[in-house]
Amino acid sequence: MNQSVEEIRQRLPADWEALRKVYDLLKKSDVFCVSDNDVKIVEFVQPAELKKLIDLTISDDKSLNEAEILSLCRKVIQYSVKTSHSRFHNQLFGQMDPYGLFGSWITEALNTSAYTFEVGPVFSLIETEVIKKMCDICGYANGDGIFAPGGSVSNMYALVLARYKVCPDIKAKGIFGMKPLVLFTSEESHYSFKKAAHWLGFGTDNCVTVKTNSQGQMMAKDLEAKILQAQEQDKTPFFVNSTAGTTVLGAFDDLNEIADVCQRYGLWLHVDGCHGGSVLISKENRHLMNGLERSNSLAWNPHKALGAPLQCSMFLTQETELMSKCNSTEVKYLFQQDKFYDVSYDTGNKSVQCGRKIDCFKFWLMLKARSVNGLGSLVDHAVKMAKLFVSKMLQREGYRLVQDSFLYTNVCFWYIPKAMRGQEETSEWEAKLYEVAPKIKEKMIRSGSLMIGYSPLSYRGVGNFIRMIFTCYPVIDEDELDAILDEIEYLAEQD
């Protein structure tokens, strides 16, 4: 029935009390850290079917009681993907760090915004501390930064800042009547740069694609050629994105090589380390990002390999004052300059958002619980498992790698079913091979036993292959690698 104001008011204390039951529900529904292989990662149902299983309609006057709400939540959880299941390797993120979830729950409950010290005093100090520590780790002396809602937005922060540096007038005047500004990024890089080129008014034609070598690394020679080409077309090159850990292959561009080119042409060097940035805290793999200290900015997602709950993304820059100058507006009702405390802690001035979630806290809590080196050793372990996975595949029959070796946590490969082995590898055979990964994927989802993604690499003329991703969590061992391969083979050979 329709609830009156008085009824809602009276019901509220009990509504709040019901929160206790939410933890039990999540626990019972196998949401946390599942390593029991009898539990399905997902109970897949087609969209039309799913619509019938859960009443999605919103009523004008019918309100549900607590028991009905909890039962509805149970169903929602039941048909959701359990990304903390130990066999979920479908995305660049996987199982969470439990302390990350501690952090998320606490900030959700406190429900505040990261714009001013006034409304988030401790969090504003924590954000400043985390940013400072991460800048130190990057070799950004006197750097600055902000937590952004995801890597795509962090990359946009870089573009806006670089643009402001070459042409501060754009802030007031816009980009009218000027030569086109051109940005460069590799064919292996993330699609967020193309999207940003549209959103920020550069135009996708001015997001120039640079070729990669056989390891998926941006080729400095081709970058230079494309820069010269843009100059000949009377355009203004201003920005180079270099990727540390590409989304599909996990490739790391040679930052020193790219920095040399940027230096020669006076271009902003951004490093998209959304996926691979986590090697920065590792001992054995830190070298993959040598040269980072020569870059202007970095995007890094702790919500990927490190297991911080979504979303947790940092934009860091070597520039000291630029972010405030570029992004601030004189908002008198929020960022009053006559406050009684140090307003430099009002970080919202540097942000493009108004309300901003507290994403620093979960990462800070994880760092407190594990320490930088502790988390870093988990990164090294994940990389080690990826390499062991490769050697195990090569000892078995039917596996073929997309490239000879992988530097990071991505392993891309084909599984060749028994019926296709020992045949002449014609183009028909290849076409058939490219259908194998989607078929295995379908079986994975229908059985709920394993989730691993697949992808083609169209710029190499290569069709679908399996892309296995290792993350810090679950912390897996050698036996699990064999179990995963056994499951892939079992599913692939099943009719």
Ligand X SMILES: *Cc1c(COP(=O)(O)O)cnc(C)c1O
Name the site residues for ligand X (rule: CB under 6 A).
92, 150-152, 190, 192, 243, 246-247, 272, 274-275, 301, 313
Measured from the CB atom, is 220 or 251 closer to ligand X?
251
Task: Give dist(CA 202, CA 205) in Å, integer.
Answer: 8
Measured from the CB atom, is 116 or 192 closer to ligand X?
192
CB of 115 to ligand X, least distance (A): 21
CB of 489 to ligand X, least distance (A): 28
Measured from the CB atom, is 243 or 349 closer to ligand X?
243
Count of C-beta atoms within a 10 Å radius of residue 59: 9
Measured from the CB atom, is 112 or 247 closer to ligand X?
247
CA dihedral 148, 343, 200, 316 (to 10 degrees): -50
Is residue 474 within 8 A of residue 94, CB to CB? The reply is yes
Q: What is the DSSP string of 19-61?
A: HHHHHHHHHHTT-SSB--TTS-S-----HHHHHHHS-----SS
Measured from the CB atom, is 246 or 318 closer to ligand X?
246
Task: Give dist(CA 455, CA 469) in Å, integer.
Answer: 12
CB of 259 to ligand X, least distance (A): 18
Q: Give the burial class of 354: count Cβ atoms within 10 A of its Cβ; 0-12 exposed, 13-18 middle, 19 or more buried.
A: exposed
Say how many Å lie between the first and final Cα of the chain, rounded: 51
CB of 243 to ligand X, least distance (A): 5
Q: What is the DSSP string of 272-317?
A: EETTGGGGGG-SSSGGGGTTGGGSSEEEE-TTSTT-PPSP-EEEEE
Measured from the CB atom, is 161 or 436 closer to ligand X?
161
Beta bridge partners of residue 411, listed in sequence order: 468
CB of 93 to ligand X, least distance (A): 9
Measured from the CB atom, is 95 or 154 closer to ligand X?
154
What is the maximum alpha-carbon separation in the chain? 78
CB of 114 to ligand X, least distance (A): 17
Measured from the CB atom, is 360 or 485 closer to ligand X?
360
CA dihedral 473, 478, 480, 481 (to 10 degrees): 100
CB of 315 to ligand X, least distance (A): 11
Measured from the CB atom, is 40 or 303 closer to ligand X?
303
Residues whose CB falls within 8 Å of the CB of residue 112, separated by 6 or more in sequence, listed in order: 119, 120, 123, 358
Phi and psi angles of residue 252, each rounded to the nearest 5 degrees, phi first: -115, 120
CB of 153 to ligand X, least distance (A): 7
Q: Alpha helix (H) ranges present in 4-150?
A: 5-17, 19-28, 47-53, 66-78, 98-110, 121-138
CB of 384 to ligand X, least distance (A): 21
Residue whose C-beta lies closest to ligand X: 151
Q: Alpha helix (H) ranges present in 167-254?
A: 170-173, 192-199, 220-232
Count of C-beta atoms within a 10 Å radius of residue 201: 15
Measured from the CB atom, is 116 or 278 closer to ligand X?
278
Measured from the CB atom, is 219 or 488 closer to ligand X?
219
Q: Is the dihedral of CA 216, 306, 313, 270 positive or negative?
A: negative
195: nearest Cα among 185, 461, 359: 185
- If you count DSSP H runs as helices and E runs as strands, how many of each does the chain have, helices first? 17, 12
CB of 298 to ligand X, least distance (A): 11
CB of 275 to ligand X, least distance (A): 4
